[in-house]
Amino acid sequence: MLTAFAQAFKTPDLRKKLLFTLGIMVLFRLGAHVPVPGVDYKVVNACIKDAGGGQGLFSLVNLFSGGALLQLTIFALGIMPYITASIILQLLTVVIPRLEALKKEGQAGTAKITQYTRYLTVALAILQGTGLVATARGGSLFSSCTQRYDIISSKSIFTTVTMVVTMTAGTVMIMWLGELITDRGIGNGMSILMFVSIAAGFPGALWSIKSSGKIMGGWFEFFVVILIGLVMVALVVFVEQAQRRIPVQYAKRMIGRRSYGGTSTYIPLKVNQAGVIPVIFASSLLYIPALVVQFSGSTAPWAQWVSVNLTKGDHPAYLAAYFLLIVFFAFFYVAISFNPEEVADNMKKYGGFIPGIRAGRPTAEYLSYVLNRITWPGSLYLGLIALVPTVAIALFNGSTNFPFGGTSILIIVGVGLETVKQIESQLQQRNYEGFLR
């Protein structure tokens, strides 16, 4: 594998792409440490230290921003507005006929949907930026130190507008950097930046585990966490690569004097067809009741129940709701992203059939049956992986932030596998051995 990397850097055009990608990654991390105008950076650092490095309600967004959210930097919103906009457009494609027609137009339609995604990203960035500034000014961002510190000293409208515009511009720049990686670098740009954001927090989290450990100076806990992380990575790689291959046979067709078709192929149905989307959906949905209670200040019975049961990550009600939402969204996302009837119609149109299954409606029913069967283990796997951080924090007495969270591992492994495959394919085009021998 190291030899293959060396060969990749020996190839001029591939080396240029790799160095360009690394340069964008460095620039992205630098921007995550530039504070927004109007924020007292020293006070923010003191609040982060008092809060223990994170806040439960903002942990997901802070994860995707590489820690920039709680530091209130120009990249505080991170890649989250773009992810949310992409998911919303993907869901609306199923509901709105106009978007569905654009999706079927090919490259031109895809470019139009991408443009809509950019516009929606800017709108969401303005909305989230305004909410973040209001949260920081109201004292809800760092509840443990609001009595002693004032994060934003100025209360003027000009300062608020400047902060929101700066954060929105930072999100637009992140989106531009991601598109640059996609066009001129290696891999999908947005996925690479997400990978960098999550991986940036690993060293600090691991060292905090070592520092707070009690056995053998913390080294025992450190190596136990490393071992758990390796086991989780191996499990995620195994499941992410697992797929059910549905054999497809194409009948021979005579057009003029030439024979077409007669080939055999397969439809790969992944066990985890939904990827990390159900985890993001479930986490975002569980934040809503807690945020409503936090901003409304209500003391009604329902608000007290939410405060007790849905704001603590280790509460049984929270864990049960989180797990069930992940399972539900796994089936929901698979249902809207894979249409068995459309696949069956396309197969019938081009003379394809599954051996032993009649073309048309029986094929669609068979694909739907297989998809439901393999989605069950995939959804349960997502739910269990997502609950690992809570169990790990409970084992370590909740004193540290477990770095190998379910969402983190799923994204890092998924992006890593796709990037390695792209490098491998480019190496194979140049007749190199690649990673696999």
Q: What confidence tens digit (pLDDT) does each residue in 22-78 have?
A: 999 999 988 888 888 877 777 777 776 665 544 555 666 666 666 666 777 888 888
* Residue with token string 């409304």: 296
Looking at every residue in the chain, the average pLDDT score rounds to 78
Neighbouring residues of 343: CB distance < 8 A, sequence distance ≥ 6? 267, 363, 364, 367
pLDDT of residue 391: 66
* Rounded alpha-carbon distances, angstroms, from residue 135 to 23, 123, 138, 195: 33, 18, 5, 27
Report the distance separating Cα 328 and Cα 10, nearest Å.
Answer: 47
pLDDT of residue 176: 92
pLDDT of residue 430: 66
For 162, the token pair is 């400047």
Q: Which of 121-125, 149-153, 192-196 has the lowest mean pLDDT?
A: 149-153
Per-residue pLDDT at 302 exceeds 90 = no
Say which DSSP state 273 is in.
Answer: T
As a whole number of Å, the CA-based R_g of the chain is 24
Average pLDDT (117-144) is 81
Q: How confident is the model at residue 126 (pLDDT cuts 50, 70, 90)?
A: very high
Select the highest-mean-pLDDT range: 254-258, 282-286, 290-294. 282-286
pLDDT > 90 fraction of the chain, expressed in percent and rounded: 7
Per-residue pLDDT at 263 exceeds 90 = no
pLDDT of residue 67: 65
Report the distance separating Cα 93 and Cα 109, nearest Å.
Answer: 12
The class (CATH top level) of 1-201 is mainly alpha
Q: How confident is the model at residue 172 (pLDDT cuts 50, 70, 90)?
A: very high
Q: Where are the domains of the chain?
A: 1-201
Report the distance separating Cα 398 and Cα 426, nearest Å.
Answer: 45
pLDDT of residue 432: 47
Question: Tens digits of per-residue pLDDT, 138-167?
Answer: 666 665 554 455 677 777 888 888 989 999
For 12, the token pair is 């001029």
Whose CA is closest to 29, among 17, 21, 41? 21
Find the DSSP H helices in 360-405: 361-395
Q: How confident is the model at residue 168 (pLDDT cuts 50, 70, 90)?
A: very high
Residues counted in the chain: 437
Whose CA is closest to 43, among 148, 116, 195, 114? 148
* Rounded alpha-carbon distances, angstroms, from residue 326 to 31, 199, 346, 383: 33, 23, 31, 6
Tell which wins on pLDDT, 65 or 435: 65
Select the highest-mean-pLDDT range: 18-22, 225-229, 394-398. 18-22
Side-chain half-sphere CA neighbours of 431 within 13 A: 0
pLDDT of residue 120: 92
pLDDT of residue 434: 46
Question: Tens digits of per-residue pLDDT, 362-415?
Answer: 888 998 999 999 999 989 988 888 887 666 666 555 444 556 666 778 888 888
User: Rounded to 5 degrees, what are φ and ψ at 258?
Assistant: -105, 150
Q: Model pTM?
A: 0.77
pLDDT of residue 60: 61
For 409, the token pair is 């591992």
